[in-house]
Chains A and B, each alone.
Chain A
Amino acid sequence: MEQTGEYRISASRDEVWAALNDPEVLGTCITGCQDVTQIDDEHFDVRVKARIGPVSATFDAALELGDLNPPASYVIQGNVKGGAAGFAKGSASVSLTEAGDETVLSYTVNANVGGKLAQVGSRLVDGAARKMADEFFEAFSERLSGAGEPETEQIPQPEVQDADTQESSGQRIIWIIAFVVLALAIVLAI
C-alpha cells in the first residue's frame, strides 16, 4: 500500500531546517514522544504514546535511516510495535522543496499495518493519524511564523550553512524526532 501527501510551510527551506535543528521547538511541537535512543548513526529506537481512535497505546519504533540528504530528502525504514494495539512496517520517503518563500514537505509511505489497528478500519486510523500530523505541523508552523521575533531571527546564517553540509549525529536526532512523528502518523494512516 502506498500513500502520498504534502504540507506547505510558510518559511524558507533553510528556516524550516533551522527550526528542525532546535530541540526546544520540536519538544513543544511533538506530543507523546517519550524517548529517543540512538543505537548508532543509522539506527534509532523511538517511543511515542498515541491514541488512534479507540486504540490507545505506546508505540515502540525501531528505525533505520537511509539516503540522508539534508535539508532536501530522507528515507526512514520503520518497524513499529504497539503491543496489543497492533504493528506497522514500512518506509517513509520525505523531501523538502523550495516553493518561493515557502517550503513544501512531501512524503511517500509504503506500509502494512497489522493487528487491532488494521481491523479498526483505515478510515478511522487515517483520520486520527492525519490529525496527529496536522497538529505537529500546525504547532511547527506557528513556531516558524514567530520567526520575526528577535530570538529566532538571531539564528546565525553560518550555522544553517553548517547544518546543510555537516551531518552531526546530534542534528540527526532532531531530524529523526520530527520525521518519526510524521512517519508514525503516516504509517498508522495506511
Chain B
Amino acid sequence: MSEAEVQSDTGIGAPVRRREDVRFITGAGNYTDDINQPGQLYGVFCRSPHARARINAIDTSEALAVEGVVGVLTGADMVADGLGDLPCGWLVKSKDGSDMNSSPHPPMAATVANYVGEPYALVVAESTYAARQAAELVMPDFDELNAVVDLGEAPHSEQIYEGIEQNLAYEWALGDEDATRMAFARAAHVTSIDLTNNRLIPNAMEPRACLGAYDAASGEYTLYTTSQNPHLERLVLSAFVQVAPEHKLRIIAPDVGGGFGSKIFIYAEETAVIWAAGKVKRPIKWVADRSESFLSDAHGRDHITHAELALDDNGRFTGLKVRTTANLGAYLSTFGSSVPTYLYGTLLAGQYKTPNIYVEVQGVYTNTAPVDAYRGAGRPEATYVVERIVEQAARELGKDPADLRRMNMIQPEDFPYETPVALVYDTGNYEASLDRALELIDYDGFEARQARAAEDKKRRGIGFACYIEACGLAPSKLAIELGAGVGLYESGEIRINPTGSVSVFTGSHSHGQGHETTFAQVVSDKLGIPYEDIEIIHGDTGRMEFALGTYGSRSLAVGGSALVEAAGKIIEKGKKIAAHMMEADAENVDFDNGQFVLQDSNQALSIQEVAFASYVPADYPEDLEPGLTAKTFYDPKNFTYPAGTHIAEVEVDIETGVTTLVNFVAVDDFGHIVNPLIVHGQVHGGVAQGVGQAMLEHGIYDEYGQLQTGSMMDYCLPRADDLPDFDIDTTVTPCTHNPLGVKGCGEAGAIGSPAAVINAITHALGNKDISMPATPEKVWRAIQGE
C-alpha cells in the first residue's frame, strides 16, 4: 500500500513504532522468570549424558539429603502416576497407506534415554543452588547402548525402538510418480543435485522457562510458560498427558522473548514442572540455561536430499523428482512429522509451472534432540531444493538464471493455479518481484562489479532465490483430513467497554511479532476508534477463547482476520442500536470511521456513544442483548502464498576463503501491509537467520551422539557485522480470500535467503559445490579443489 493510501498515522498501512518496545527496551517486560509466587521452589533437571542408554536404578537418597531439597521426581514416578506420553499432533501416513510409526515419548525418560540432554529426573529445592547441587548427585546406573547418529546411515543402523524397523517413522510420498517418470524419459536435459540442509539450533533470546502452581483450595493448576500457543499447551497437558482437566488448568504465556517455532511445542520440562507442583503442593519455577536450550529445544531442518529436474529443448521444466531423508530426532515432537512432509513436499512447485512433481520423504529416528518447526519449517528446505537445482540447470544450459526462472514462472493470468503437489495458489505476480529485485541489485552492473572485485583478488558471485511459501495453514477440514490433530482457525474477541475504550482478545500470541501494535492498528482502522484506546490481550487461557496460537506466519492472516470479522459483528449490532437511538431503520445507518451516520440526514452517533448506550440500555431495542462485544472463530479458506525474489551478492577472498555478503536484495509480496516498519523488521530478522544458516550455523553431533555445538562458542549465530545493509522492497497482490488481503511475512526472510546466498557463493566459485554453512574453511577447500 502506498503512503498516499494510508488513512491515518495509526491505521492500516501506517509505520507505527511498536508500542511493546518501550517496556522491552526499558527492562519493564514481564517474562516468565520475572514472575514469582510465595513459597516458590526451584526445579533443575537431570539430563542424560548419553545418547542412548538404559536407565537402571536411580538412587535419589544423596540428592534428597542435600539441605533445601524438597523432592526428586523421576520418569518412573511419572509413569507410576499414570501420566501419558507427549503426543505428536500430526499423523502422517506412509505412501502404502499405513500410519506412521510413532515412538514412545515419555516426558521424562523412565527406562531408556534416547538423546543427550533428555531429562530423567527433576530436583525441586528451596533454591536453584540447592537444586543444582543435588541434581549432580542423581546419577543413575546407565547401561550405554549403541547410538544411531548419522542420518544417512540411520535406516541401516541398529533399531532404536522395538517395532520400528529401519528407524523409519514413515515413508511419505506426494505427486504422480508415473507421470514424473515419463517426463524424465522424454527430457532433453536432466540436472541432478545432492543437498544437505544443515541442522539448526533455534536460540531464542529468552530461554524456555515455566512456573507451575497448584491451588489446593480450588484444585486449579496455573502454568506460566514460554509458549507460542498456550491453548494448545493446555489441550495436550489435559487430554494427552492428563495432568489436570482443561477447566482446572490455566496456561499463561506472558512476554516471551522470541520463539521462531521452538516454543510451539509441548516439552517435557513444563509438563514435569506442573505435575510436580501438584505433588509437592508448592509453586515450582524452572528456567533453562543456555546449555540446556542447546540440548533440549527442538532443533530445525536436517535433511539429506537428492533431486533431479527435467527440462525440454527450450528450457521449460517438465518434471521434478525429489528424495529426502529427514531427521526427526529421537522422538516425534509436537509437529515434527508434518514439517518434512506437508510443509515441505507441497512447496516443491515453487513459482514454476513444472507439470510433474514427485517427492518421497523418509522420516528417520536418530539418537539426537527432536527436530521440529523452525522459522519457515519445511518451506526453507523446499525452496533450497528448488532454487539450487534451477540455478544449477541454468548454469549447465548456459542460460541466464533470471531468464530461466522467468520463462518457467506461473503468470498472473494462471491464478488460481493448482500445483501438482496439492496446493492451489490464489494469486501472485512473480515476475514483478523478480524485475524489482533485478533493478535494486543493478543486475546489469554486476559484470563491472565482478571485474572490480577481481582486481582485489576477490571473486564476486550473484545468486537468486525466487521462493514461494504457504502460510496460515488451512482450512481446518483439509488439514484434519491430512492428519492434523487440531483445527487451524483462530479466535478473536472485541469488547468495547462502556467508556469507549476497547479490549481485544486474540489467540495469536505475540513473542516478537508486534501484535499489540499491528492488531490495534487493524481494530482502530476498522472501528474508527483511536489507536491509543485499544488494548491487545493475548496469551492466557483464563482470559480468552480457545485458540491455536502463533506459527507459520499465520497471525495477521488468520488472527487478524478474526478481529476484522468480529469488528464487522460489532458494527452490525452498533447499527441496530444507533438506528433505535436515531429512530430509524438499521438499513439506513452507515458506519464510517467511528460514526454511525443516518443516511440523508445530519444525524450521527459515535461508536463510543453507542457503546455507552449498550451498557446503559435505557432507550434500547427490545430484541437486542446489552453490551457491545463480538467474538469470532475465523477459519481460512486456503493457505496464503507470500512469494518473492531474494538476490545475494558475495565476494570470496581467494586466499583465505572468507566470504563476505556484500549486497542483499529482498523483494517480497506479502499482500497488503498493515505496518511496513514491522514488516521490514521481520524481513531483516528472517534474512539474518537465513544467512546464518547459509554461512555460519550448524548443529553437529559426534559419532557417539554428543552435541559438539553446545554453546555460543561452537554454534555461530550471525552478528551485525556479518550482514550488509539489506535492500528491501515489496510488491502487492492482495490475498484473495481473507478480509485484510494479507499473506504473512514472518518467515519469508529465512526461506529465500539460504538458497540465494549459496547460489551466489557457488557462482563465485565457478559452480563448485558447497554445503551449508559455507564456512571459510569449506570455501577455501573448494577453491583448492579438495
Contact = CB atoms under 8 A, between A and B. Distances in A.
Nearest to B138: A84
A60 B514 CA distance: 52
A115 B49 contact: yes
Interface stretch (A12-20, A121-129, A177-185): A121-129
B714 interface: yes
Classify chain B's interface size: 20 to 34
B116 interface: yes
B718 interface: no
Interface stretch (B208-216, B223-231, B315-323, B702-710): B702-710
A83 interface: yes
A54 B115 CA distance: 23
B405 interface: no
A118 B708 CA distance: 6
Interface in A84-118: 84-87, 112-116, 118
A1 B703 CA distance: 10
Interface string B284-297: 00000001001100
A114 B139 contact: no
A113 B706 contact: yes
A121 B136 contact: no
Contacts of B702: 1, 112, 118
Interface string A42-60: 0000000000000001000
Given A87-B49, A114-B116, A116-B291, A121 B713 contact: yes
B291 A119 contact: yes
Contacts of B56: none
A75 to B, nearest CB: 22
B711 interface: yes
Contact of B706 (A85, A114, A124): A114
A164 B290 CA distance: 52
A84 B133 CA distance: 10
Contacts of A68: none
B576 to A, nearest CB: 64
Contacts of A115: 49-50, 116, 706
Interface in B133-164: 135-137, 139
B712 to A, nearest CB: 9
Contact of B713 (A57, A84, A114, A124): A124
Contacts of A123: 713-714
B49 A116 contact: yes
A84 B139 contact: yes
A86 B49 contact: yes
Contacts of A113: 706
Interface residues of A, number: 19
A39 interface: no
Contacts, number: 55
Contact of A119 (B137, B704, B711): B711
A120 interface: yes
A122 B49 contact: no
A83 B134 CA distance: 12
Contact of B710 (A57, A87, A119): A119
Contact of B704 (A84, A112, A120): A112
B135 A84 contact: yes
Given A118-B706, A119-B706, A84 B136 contact: yes
Interface in B705-747: 706-708, 710-711, 713-714
B704 A114 contact: yes
A122 B708 CA distance: 8
Contacts of B291: 116, 119-120
Given A84-B136, A112-B702, A119 B50 contact: no
A172 B713 CA distance: 40
Interface in A55-81: 57
B681 to A, nearest CB: 32
Highest count of chain B CB atoms <10 Å: which of A83, A87, A115, A119: A119
Interface string A10-39: 000000000000000000000000000000
B706 A120 contact: no
Contact of A121 (B50, B137, B714): B714
Given A86-B49, A112-B706, A114-B116, A119 B295 contact: yes
A128 to B, nearest CB: 13
A121 B49 contact: no
A118 B707 contact: yes
Contacts of B706: 112-115, 118-119
A120 to B, nearest CB: 6
A119 B294 contact: yes
A58 B710 CA distance: 22
Contacts of A121: 710-711, 713-714
Contacts of A119: 116, 291, 294-295, 706-707, 710-711
B49 A120 contact: no
Interface string B265-302: 00000000000000000000000000100110000000
A110 B311 CA distance: 51
B49 A114 contact: yes
Contacts of B704: 112, 114
A87 B48 CA distance: 12
Contacts of A122: 708, 714
B619 to A, nearest CB: 71
Contacts of A120: 291, 710-711
Among A84, A87, A116, max chain B CB count under 10 A is at A84
B136 A114 contact: no
B416 to A, nearest CB: 50
A152 B347 CA distance: 78
Contacts of A1: 702
The listed residue with most A CB atoms (<10 A of its CB), out of B46, B137, B702, is B702
A123 B716 CA distance: 14
Nearest to A123: B713
Contacts of A112: 702, 704, 706
A5 B1 CA distance: 65
Contacts of A86: 49
A139 to B, nearest CB: 29
A5 B278 CA distance: 55
A9 B707 CA distance: 37
A124 B710 CA distance: 12
Residue of B49, B139, B295, B708 with most chain A CB atoms under a 10 A cut-off: B49
Given A83-B136, A83-B139, A112-B702, A118 B50 contact: no
A119 B137 CA distance: 19
A116 B710 CA distance: 9
A84 B142 CA distance: 13
Interface string B21-57: 0000000000000000000000000100110000000
A120 B711 CA distance: 6
Interface in B682-711: 702, 704, 706-708, 710-711
Contacts of B707: 118-119
A114 to B, nearest CB: 5
A114 B711 CA distance: 15
Contacts of A116: 49, 291
Interface string A115-147: 110111111100000000000000000000000
Given A84-B49, A84-B137, 9 more contacts: A83-B136, A83-B137, A84-B136, A113-B706, A115-B49, A116-B291, A118-B702, A122-B714, A123-B713
14 contacts: A83-B137, A83-B139, A84-B137, A114-B704, A114-B706, A115-B706, A116-B49, A116-B291, A120-B711, A121-B710, A121-B713, A121-B714, A122-B714, A123-B714
Q: Which 7 A-B pairs have the closest CB atoms?
A: A115-B49, A119-B710, A84-B136, A118-B706, A121-B713, A121-B714, A121-B711
